[in-house]
Amino acid sequence: MKKLSRKTFFKGLALGTISLPLAIRSCGGKNLAQDSGPNIITGKKYKWKMTTTWPPDFPALGEGCNLFAQWVEEMSAGRMQIQVFGGGELVPPLEAFNAVRSGAAEIGHGAGYYWKGLLPAAQFFASIPFGMNAQQMNAWLYSGGGLELWEKLYADVGLVPFPGGNTGVQMGGWFNREINSIEDFKGLKMRIPGVGSKVLKKAGGAPVLLPGGELYTGLERGVIDATEWIGPYHDYKMGFYQIAKYYYTPGWHEAGTTLEFFINKPKFDALEPDLQAILRTAAARVNVWMLSEFEAKNTIYLEKLIDEKVDIRKFPDEVLATLRQYNEEALQEEIAGDPLSREAYASYDAFRKKAASWAKLTEKVFYNSLQI
C-alpha cells in the first residue's frame, strides 16, 4: 500500500474519505478491519430520518428534536446526520411509532400514551393522572429501574426508548363551559390522551384523541368542546385563549409528562458503541433542556394570558376527588387484562408512593410555607 503524506492523511481522516482502519494500515499499523472487537470506530457515516408527532419546528417539542439532531451531528463530528420531519411531513403524526418499527424512519419522537392502542403499557412511561411530577419521573426512570423496564418493553416491539423531554406540571385545559360539578363533564367532547381519556369517559364525557396541530381548528369548529394541552407557553402560542372561555387548573391528568425518543432497535444495535452513547447523551440533554424551556417560558406567557384577561379557574375540590376515584378504577381496569401494564404500573406505583412520602416532608411543607 502506498504510504500517505502527513497532510493527505489528516485531511482524508477529517473529511471521512479515509476510514480509520485504512488510515492506520497506511501508517503500518494492524488491519483493524479484521478485528471484530466491539469498540472499533469505522468512520462510517449515517443519514437517518426522525419522524415526530409535532408540527415542524414546534416550540420546545419540535425545537428539542432539532437540537437533538444538531447535538448528535456535533458530537459525532458529522458521522451521523439526522433529518427531522414534523408530523404529517413523512407520516401522519400518530403513525410515528409504526413508522420507526417498520424502518420507514430510524428514530421518532412523541409520548408513550399515543401508542396506547398498540402497546397499552407504554402510557405508564409518559404520564398517568394524579401521578408523578417531572423530577419524580426522572428519578424513577434513571435511578429507580423504570428505564430498564421501559427498554425491556420496547425491545419486544423492535424499539429502543430514551427519555426525551418533560412538560412539567400541566394546566387542566381550555373549556367552553364551566366546571362546577362532576355533572358538567357529561357529554363533554374533550381532547385528552392516555388513562385520562378513560377517566373522562367514566365522568360521562367523550374523549377525543387529536394531534397538537389539529386542536385549534377542532375547538374553533366545535369538533371538541374542550382541550388540554400543556401550559401557558404553548397554549398562548396556539391561540386557545381566543376561542375558549375558561382556563382550568390543575392538570390532574398529567403532572409531569415524559416525552420520548424511540429508535429502530436493529438500526441502533448495528451502530458503533460511541454513536450509541452519543444518541443516549443527546437525548438526556434534550430531557433537561425541554423541561427548563417550559418552566422558563410558562412564567412569561402566564403573564401574557393574564394581560389578555383570561378567566383562570381551579377545578372544585369535590370534582378532583371524584376524578381521582374514577382514576383508581380506570387504572385497575388497565392493568387487569395486560401483564405488561401490570408490571409497569407496579414499578411506577411503588416508586410513586416512596417519592410522595419524601415530597410530603419537603416540597409540600415548603410550598405551604410560602402560602402560594
Share of the chain above pLDDT 70, in %: 88
149 and 282 within one domain: yes
Q: Residue 348 pLDDT > 80, yes or no?
A: yes
Q: Average per-residue pLDDT in the chain?
A: 91
In a domain, 344, yes or no: no
3-state SS record for the chain: CCCCCHHHHHHHHHHCCCCHHHHHHHCCCCCHHHCCCCCCCCCCCEEEEEEECCCCCCCCHHHHHHHHHHHHHHHCCCCEEEEEECCCCCCCHHHHHHHHHHCCCCEEEECHHHHCCCCHHHHHHCCCCCCCCHHHHHHHHHHCCHHHHHHHHHHCCCEEEEEEEECCCCCCEEECCCCCCHHHHCCCEEECCHHHHHHHHHCCCEEECCCHHHHHHHHHCCCCCEECCCCHHHHHHCCHHHCCCEEEECCCCCCCCEEEEEEEHHHHHCCCHHHHHHHHHHHHHHHHHHHHHHHHHHHHHHHHHHHCCCEEEECCHHHHHHHHHHHHHHHHHHHHCCHHHHHHHHHHHHHHHHHHHHHHHCHHHHHHHHCC
Over residues 53-75, the pLDDT tens digits come to 999 999 999 999 999 999 999 99
From 31-35, 147-151, 332-336, 356-360, the region with the lowest mean pLDDT: 31-35
Domain check: are 33 and 160 in the same one? no
pLDDT number for residue 170: 97
Q: 178 or 337, which is more confident?
A: 178
Dihedrals phi, psi of 339, to nearest 5 degrees:
-60, -35
The cell 377545578 sits on which residue? 315
Residues 27 and 68 in one domain: no
Are 105 and 163 found together in one domain?
Answer: yes
CATH of the domain at 61: 3.40.190.170
Residue 87 in this model has a pLDDT that exceeds 80 = yes
Q: Residue 215: inside a domain, yes or no? A: no
In a domain, 212, yes or no: no
Residues 147 and 85 in one domain: yes
Is residue 326 included in any domain, yes or no? no
Whether 5 and 64 map to the same domain: the answer is no
Say if 280 falls within a structural domain: yes
The pLDDT value recorded for residue 37 is 46
Dump pLDDT digits (tens) for 9-55: 444 544 555 444 444 444 444 443 344 445 556 689 999 999 999 99
Q: Is the pLDDT of residue 139 over 60?
A: yes
Do 75 and 17 sit in the same domain of this protein? no
**Per-residue pLDDT band at 370 (split at 50, 70, 90):** confident
Q: What is the pLDDT, as a whole number, of residue 21?
A: 44
**365 domain residue, yes or no:** no
* pLDDT on residue 3: 53
Domain that holds residue 69: 46-169+257-295
The predicted structure's pLDDT at residue 40: 58
Residues 125 and 165 in one domain: yes
Q: Is residue 364 part of a domain?
A: no
Query: Which pLDDT score is estimated for 36?
Result: 44
Final residue of a structural domain among 270, 295, 320: 295
| pLDDT at residue 2 is higher than 70 | no
Q: Is residue 36 domain-shared with residue 52, that is, in the same domain?
A: no
Q: Could you tell me if residue 133 is inside a domain? A: yes
The predicted structure's pLDDT at residue 34: 40
Do 164 and 63 share a structural domain?
A: yes
What is the pLDDT averaged over residues 216-223?
A: 92
CA dist 158 and 154 (Å) reads: 6
Q: How far apart are CA 164 and CA 61, in angstroms?
A: 9
Output the pLDDT for position 8: 57
Q: Kindly state whether residues 153 and 279 are assigned to the same domain.
A: yes
Q: What is the pLDDT of residues 287-333, one digit of tens each?
A: 999 999 999 999 999 999 999 999 999 999 999 999 999 999 999 99
Residue 372: what pLDDT?
63
In the chain, the number of structural domains is 2
Ranges 95-104, 140-149, 199-208, 209-218: which has the least confidence = 209-218
| % of the chain with per-residue pLDDT over 90 | 85
Band the pLDDT of 257: cuts 50, 70, 90. very high
Residue 233 has pLDDT above 70, yes or no: yes
271 and 158 in one domain?
Answer: yes
